[in-house]
Amino acid sequence: MLNNLKKFRFREPSVIPGFGVTMFFTMFYLAIIVVIPLSGLFFQTAKVSWGEFYNTVTDERVMHAYKVTFGCSLVAALLNMFFGTMLAWCLVRYDFPFKKFIDALIDLPFALPTAVAGIALTALYAPNGWIGQYVEPYGISLAFNQVGIIIALTFIGLPFAVRTVQPVLEDLDNEIEEAAASLGATRLQTFTKIIFPHIMPALLTGFSMAFARALGEYGSVIFIAGNMPMISEIVPLLIVIKLEQYDYSGATSIAVVMLISSFIMLYIINHLQRWGQSRIEK
């Protein structure tokens, strides 16, 4: 009898409701916020025939908008992954004046309205801007083209790259690097064999978040891109244009392509993250 009582464990009361209630509210919240709105895209697209859908999403103007959006987002995400890691390294490993101010400044793109960011970037990099006026005489154009799009997407994606790598570097013990140095490892070997494998999952996470954020960016881009068809027109702008023309089927068709493409890329990146994490655990 006593042994049976020992096996029986009394459960401590929890502030959070039981599994059934919690799961119900979780699924209900996801359905209202995510599933139902995204399902509406597919239902609206289902109203058009396959031929109309194919002609809409493969139109020459739309195809070029795909190239601009995905290409510029990829470049911006790669830039953020590289420079964001450097910035996170400096914030974690070094002490310098105004460190806390710079650390807080990184989160500014989160709080700043995207339209304000676009106006500010245009004021800086336009041909008559504070920076653009000095490089324009040399034939370097930083605004109203794809370079301007990359600048805007890099600006809004930087916090994702920094904030995912920064806590991982903070948890990395300096004694591991000191042990590697005492065993004769060079700085390059220490970084490639110890530091990089440790932060690689965080790098991929920051890259994927910055890339996904850049794909749907609209407000900061339209001011600095120039919005010229076949040159610097992004997919979100093209969707807005079709909505203004009351072409709801065309807008939702393009949106479905973007949704599926983004989901596939994020799915692949998540698998890369798990692969990188499994390598660290081994």
Provide the terminal-to-terminal Cα distance of the chain, rounded to the nearest Å. Answer: 45
Angle between helices 146-171 and 60-93 (to 10 degrees): 40
Residue 268 clears pLDDT 90, i.e. is over it? no
Q: How confident is the model at residue 179 (pLDDT cuts 50, 70, 90)?
A: confident
pLDDT in tens, 17-69: 666 778 888 888 888 888 888 888 888 888 888 888 899 999 999 999 999 99
pTM of the model: 0.84
Residues in Cβ contact with 23 at an 8 Å cutoff, skipping those fewer than 6 apart: none
pLDDT of 153 reads: 95
- What is the C-alpha to C-alpha distance for residues 23 and 89, in angstroms, rounded to an integer? 39
Angle between helices 235-244 and 248-281 (to 10 degrees): 150
pLDDT of 5 reads: 47
pLDDT in tens, 186-234: 888 888 888 888 888 888 888 988 998 899 899 899 999 988 888 999 9
- What is the C-alpha to C-alpha distance for residues 221 and 146, in angstroms, rounded to an integer? 10
The answer to whether 146 and 223 have CB atoms below 8 angstroms apart is: no
- What is the C-alpha to C-alpha distance for residues 228 and 140, in angstroms, rounded to an integer? 18
Q: What is the CATH number of domain 48-281?
A: 1.10.3720.10
pLDDT of 8 reads: 46
